[in-house]
Structure 1
Amino acid sequence: MCSRREADDWIAQGWVKVNGQVAPMGLQVHATDRIEVDKKAQGFQEQRVTILLHKPMGYVSGQAEDGHTPAVALINPRTHWREDPSRNRFSPPQLRGLAPAGRLDIDSVGLLVLTQDGRVARQIIGEDSSMDKEYLVRVQYGDVATNVQAVFPAQQLARLCHGLSLDGQALKPARVEWQNPEQLRFVLTEGKKRQIRRMCELVGLRVVGLKRIRIGRVTLGNLPVGQWRYLGPHEQF
């Protein structure tokens, strides 16, 4: 129903009852107890926004670091996509608690999700999440920058799909295939730091461009670079 932090807020607001009594923080409950949540909590949750940003190169996903600008700085009325079908209108409170659900490296571009909704964040990056994410990755192999597909060994492509380890841990199976002679399509269900770049290094490839185009069922589509839109009410990851 909500994130842990949201649950704490609901309890503090008096919106949670156990067996008909307003619940204090830290109350122990049992399977036989009746828990009720006030409709005000649902209304509060419905006001929380999830934003889809086409992150440009040079922005970090999370907090500002090493002088680089965080992606959330791009969320303002001027960069709101004109063709956004959502009826939402931007207001400054939408920036409160707005956090990235997953990361996209400073030198990568594409779909970045920022959300105020703990349920969305848990869907995408929760410990038990297996949501797949799709990337287009332009590569070089040694000195070869054109028609890399023709010279890259098939057995190394198979290793990208399954057989590599990072940080002493075997990676989950991935779908990796050629999109065109210079570009691979990766579909991953995990997100280790700089995973695709490090995977490619292990098989002798150098990444020269990386773009995330899909998270779950939500695609980047025609969203222009540096612009954003709201996740629609009928869209689901």
Structure 2
Amino acid sequence: MSEPTRLSKRLVEQLGCSRREAELYIEGGWVTVDGVVVEQPQFKVEQQSVALLPGARAETLEPVTLLLNQPAGQDTESARVSMGMDSLSEAHREGVRALHGHFARQACVAPLEPGASGLQVFTQDWRVTRKVNADLRRLEQEFVVQVRGEASPQALERLARGVMRNDRELPKAKASWQNETHLRLVLKNPQPGQISELCAYLRLELLGMRRIRLGGVSMGKLPLGQWRYVAATERF
């Protein structure tokens, strides 16, 4: 009986490739062990069948950006850790190759304020981080806010011109009723507490807030607690 050996070593022996190429094939999800994709180069194999999938490329993984529909009350680190193969939205699985390497070194950009739910953005791509951070003051953010109370159309219109509360200027916001209990708010770079202050100005009690868009990227129909990849065609 042969001794267990690292999957990367077995691949080197089979293909005559370098160790680094073997690791790239494995981490890229191109290698199967008895027909099952294994992405860990250190995985130990014995007599199992090791094969390379068609179209395999020994290339470094391209960085990806992920969108999570984060539940209220979940902190950013718990949200990051919650993303895995099993929480990828069923509606967004077609045509994507979900890999374990996509969850490594994910950083949150434009984080939600504590207590908010909805669209949370994580990225491995320094270009996305740089662009979002540089443009954050100009990027529209859209929220659906659950409230209790009534506010007139005239009061909502005043938000678009800018209002003061407790001698502080609040951010301009486009506001409209989605239904009797939910208000749609669009504003730029809201700071923690400012949406609550806007609601207080309108004499509405804030019950909850959910972000649904950041710049040009909308969350879409993403179930709570699930995530999807940002498509190459989407731009913040």
Counterparts in 2 of 1:201 and 1:81: CA distance versus 1, 3 Å? same
* Deviations, residues 50-105 of structure 1 (Å, cap 9, x unaligned): 001011122023x4xxxxxx2102111111112224523121x4333311111223
State the shift of 1:186 in Å. Answer: 0.6
Q: Which residue of 1 aligns with 2:113?
A: 105
Counterparts in 2 of 1:189 and 1:167: CA distance versus 1, 3 Å? farther
1:53 is matched with which residue: 68, 82, 85?
Answer: 68
> Does residue 201 in structure 1 map to residue 200 in structure 2?
yes
What RMSD, in angstroms, separates the aligned Cα atoms of the two structures?
A: 2.5
Distance 2:224 2:233 in 1: 24
Counterparts in 2 of 1:127 and 1:222: CA distance versus 1, 3 Å? closer
State the shift of 1:129 in Å. Answer: 4.4
Counterparts in 2 of 1:136 and 1:98: CA distance versus 1, 3 Å? same
Q: Percent identity?
A: 31
Counterparts in 2 of 1:206 and 1:216: CA distance versus 1, 3 Å? same
- What secondary structure sits across from 2:91 in the alignment? coil
Counterparts in 2 of 1:124 and 1:163: CA distance versus 1, 3 Å? same
Q: Which residue of 1 aligns with 2:188?
A: 189
Counterparts in 2 of 1:235 and 1:153: CA distance versus 1, 3 Å? closer
Question: What is the one-letter code of the residue matched to 1:90?
Answer: L
Are the equivalent residues in 2 in contact too, given 1:162–1:171 (CA < 8 A)? Answer: no
Distance 2:136 2:218 in 1: 22
Are the equivalent residues in 1 in contact too, given 2:84–2:103 (CA < 8 A)? Answer: no
- What secondary structure sits across from 2:157 in the alignment? helix
More displaced 10-residue stretch of structure 1: 222-231 or 168-177? 168-177
> Does residue 96 in structure 1 map to residue 104 in structure 2?
yes
Are the equivalent residues in 2 in contact too, given 1:218–1:236 (CA < 8 A)? Answer: yes
Q: Which residue of 2 aligns with 1:30?
A: none
- Of structures 1 and 2, the one with the larger relative CO (CA 8 A, separation 6+) is 1
Are the equivalent residues in 1 in contact too, given 2:70–2:225 (CA < 8 A)? Answer: yes
Distance 1:216 1:164 in 2: 23
* Deviations, residues 112-132 of structure 1 (Å, cap 9, x unaligned): 111111222233332664111
Distance 1:172 1:213 in 2: 18
> Does residue 87 in structure 1 map to residue 96 in structure 2?
yes
Are the equivalent residues in 1 in contact too, given 2:136–2:189 (CA < 8 A)? Answer: no
Counterparts in 2 of 1:53 and 1:206: CA distance versus 1, 3 Å? same
Q: Which residue of 1 aligns with 2:130?
A: 122
* Deviations, residues 136-195 of structure 1 (Å, cap 9, x unaligned): 112112xxxxxx3xxx24443233323235797634422111122222111112121132
With the length of structure 2 as denominator, give the TM-score of the two structures.
0.65
Are the equivalent residues in 2 in contact too, given 1:134–1:186 (CA < 8 A)? Answer: yes
5+ unaligned residues in a row in structure 1: which ranges? 1-42, 64-69, 142-147
- What secondary structure sits across from 2:69 in the alignment? strand
Q: How does 1:14-93 map to 2 (within 5 A)?
A: 47-61=62-76, 63=77, 70-84=78-92, 85-91=94-100, 93=101
Distance 2:86 2:185 in 1: 33
Q: Which residue of 2 aligns with 1:4?
A: none
Counterparts in 2 of 1:234 and 1:153: CA distance versus 1, 3 Å? closer
With the length of structure 1 as denominator, give the TM-score of the two structures.
0.65
Counterparts in 2 of 1:116 and 1:208: CA distance versus 1, 3 Å? same
5+ unaligned residues in a row in structure 2: which ranges? 1-58
